[in-house]
Structure 1
Amino acid sequence: MAKGTHDYVDDPRNQSILINVNGELFPRDEAKVSVFDSGFILGDGVWEGLRVHNGIIVLLDEHLQRLYAGAKAIDMDVGIKRDELKQRLYETLDRNDMAKDGVHIRLMVTRGVKATPYQDPRVTISDATIVIVPEYKNPLPETVNKGISLFTVHVRRGDPAVQDQKLNSHSKLNCITACIQAAKAGADEALMLDPHGFVATCNSTHFFIVKDGELWTSSGDYCLGGITRGTVLKLARENGIVAREKNFSLTDVYGADEAFVTGTFAGLVPVHTIDGRSIGWEEEQQMPGKMVKQMQEIYKKYLHSEAAKGRGL
């Protein structure tokens, strides 16, 4: 079982899900891609994690915008237009009878099959590979309510000239090595710094602190343009809460009133400990903190309002 914000409630229905591979549905045990696929050989591709609320893939347009922008940045042709991909996603949900909450989708697009294991995109001999994996997955209630621990790792978020962190690519080794170090230190997830030593993000989520009634998150220069991150910033400002994107250090983090992380899967999750230090509350105090609880409620209402708009097909 994974740890941190991606802990989930096991659901036996996942053993019989249908997975969409290039427009064709396969039982879980029969869904396969080639060993010559660019994603398997090189991590050459882009992906999105999507959340279903009341049968609606919430913020789907924003996720597809990021997916297609990432594909364009690496000169990869997705092969189908956004409306067709949107239709394929919903067809996959419908064939799996997934019309309720508690569904998470992994959408993966790779450059396609290669003639030989080699990095040059010009040896690709197929269209892009598009895989849709829908699963019944709910975050553990104790994760959302009691929070997680973080450990600041030595693995940094890289310079965009090395590998741009804004690209949601299949190649996640930077985040994986950070996750390993945090796990070996006994924490749930890794807190990662940028090349200058300022706080950047976590290995699989975005990081926020609460300081004197304000929300702070990183400048965004060294992290993925998170959909949930951006939504939380927007909602906070709409509700009269000062929300800043800025450089700040571990000194600010250790002295924060509260801390939390954001992600598509679990939404807003409180952080109770960073590098062995309790953040913002004593052990006997209730979690999540006041600001985190307020933002969780605001975010939940927003998801319901977005789902009420329907599929938009």
Structure 2
Amino acid sequence: MTHSTHAYAPDPRNDSILIDINGELFPRADAKVSVFDSGFVLGDGVWEGLRVYAGPDGKGVIAFLDRHLARLYAGAKTLDYEFPLSKTEFAERLYACLDANEAHDGVHVRLMTSRGVKATPYQDPRATITPPTIVIIPEFKTPSPDAGARGLSLFTVHVRRGYPDVQDQKLNSHSKLNCIMACIQAAKADADEALMLDPHGFVATCNSTHFFIVKDGEIWTSTGDFCLGGITRKVIIETAREAGVTVHERNFSLHDAYNADEAFVTGTFAGLTPVAEIDGRTLGAASGPMVAKLRGLYKERVANDIKDGRRVNFD
């Protein structure tokens, strides 16, 4: 991958990773789910992206795992299906998969769940005949330093973040077509990522990250009404406020974004990445003092979260 905040350098270790499917480990080439699976047939399921850092004993620790599991369970509740695992059992399975792969640092995990296998490819949840499908894919991935050095280019797309009565954007479901269409439009414009507006024309979020601007020493981000409840987004807001930085969760327009002193995006994989350009407008600083400060504070926050090593009891 050469574009976006998810750009990473290939790692040969990923060719031989073991993938957990419903508690059983499979080599990458043999890891498969049914063509009748709800996630494949309908995008019916919820998922999480997790970041792994080396803990004090050298073993991989998943940062902010409590928040990720809370969001996963909330999503499943909204979709009205129940996991066969407790949160503690989820954590144990995740760490067992990491250990089986000797994956302890510079690792990104895709935790995917679906309603389960269906008797026939039909949308009615009552056609589901198995417990939920749970897949854990750990990969050795570190963010490309290029994006952080040069800053991202964003392109404002026509695809909007919709109202929650159509599809609630707070739900981290497999159904990501609006984000995919936004990503395609941005790619056609040769941009790294799409900047998406809400139904009222205010800036909402990016297609796979959350968007922030800096104005006069203060941080602005959207109200959050039309975007996923991002874990990194929330951590950055909390951390900035604890450091005495004013953070506004408010409506603002492209005019404000074009004239920002700095801008950045957040996400689990890359943490905090500066933005250098929006719709051809060059910002005042691709990586200014606020971005540098927040990057340092976020690094400290991650270190504090993993300092005691693995935690598995979440129930």
Verify same fold: TM over 0.5: yes
Is 1:291 aligned with 2:290? yes
C-alpha distance in structure 1 between counterparts of 2:137 and 2:284, whole Å: 38
Match of 1:64 among 62, 69, 72: 69
C-alpha distance in structure 2 between counterparts of 1:278 and 1:268, whole Å: 19
Is 1:161 aligned with 2:160? no
Is 1:268 aligned with 2:267? no
> Which residue type is aligned with residue 145 of structure 1?
A
C-alpha distance in structure 2 between counterparts of 1:2 and 1:200, whole Å: 25
* Matching of residues 33-182 of structure 1 within 5 Å: 33-54=33-54, 55-99=60-104, 101-182=105-186
Is 1:301 aligned with 2:300? yes
Q: CA deviation at 1:143?
A: 1.2
Q: After superposition, what is the alpha-carbon deviation per residue over 1:96-117, rounded to whole angstroms, capped at 9, x for unaligned?
A: 1112x20000000000000000
Q: CA deviation at 1:191?
A: 0.1
Is 1:4 aligned with 2:4? yes
The equivalent of 2:211 in structure 1 is: 207
Is 1:192 aligned with 2:196? yes
Q: After superposition, what is the alpha-carbon deviation per residue over 1:148-170, rounded to whole angstroms, capped at 9, x for unaligned?
A: 10000000001000000000000
Please provide the CA RMSD for this pair.
0.7
C-alpha distance in structure 2 between counterparts of 1:252 and 1:44, whole Å: 37
Q: After superposition, what is the alpha-carbon deviation per residue over 1:272-311, rounded to whole angstroms, capped at 9, x for unaligned?
A: 0000000123xxxxx4111101100110111111111211
> Alignment identity in percent?
66
* 1:31–1:2 distance in 2 versus 1, CA, 3 Å: farther
C-alpha distance in structure 2 between counterparts of 1:290 and 1:106, whole Å: 32
Query: Does the residue aligned with 2:292 lie in a helix, a strand or coil?
Result: helix
* Matching of residues 220-259 of structure 1 within 5 Å: 220-259=224-263
The equivalent of 1:183 in structure 2 is: 187
Q: TM-score, with normalisation over the residues of structure 1? A: 0.97
Paired positions, count: 307
Moved more, 266-275 or 298-307: 298-307
C-alpha distance in structure 2 between counterparts of 1:2 and 1:133, whole Å: 21
The equivalent of 1:13 in structure 2 is: 13
Runs ≥4 residues deviating over 3 A: none
Q: After superposition, what is the alpha-carbon deviation per residue over 1:68-113, rounded to whole angstroms, capped at 9, x for unaligned?
A: 00000110112211100110000000011112x2000000000000
Q: CA deviation at 1:142?
A: 1.2
Runs of at least 5 residues in structure 1 that lack an aligned partner in the other structure: 282-286
> Which residue type is aligned with residue 21 of structure 1?
I
Query: Does the residue aligned with 1:161 lie in a helix, a strand or coil?
Result: coil
C-alpha distance in structure 2 between counterparts of 1:61 and 1:43, whole Å: 25
The equivalent of 2:30 in structure 1 is: 30
Q: CA deviation at 1:2?
A: 5.2
Query: Does the residue aligned with 2:36 lie in a helix, a strand or coil?
Result: coil
C-alpha distance in structure 2 between counterparts of 1:15 and 1:61, whole Å: 29
> Which residue type is aligned with residue 160 of structure 2?
R
Q: TM-score, with normalisation over the residues of structure 2? A: 0.96
C-alpha distance in structure 2 between counterparts of 1:204 and 1:2, whole Å: 15
Query: Does the residue aligned with 1:63 lie in a helix, a strand or coil?
Result: helix
Q: CA deviation at 1:145?
A: 2.3
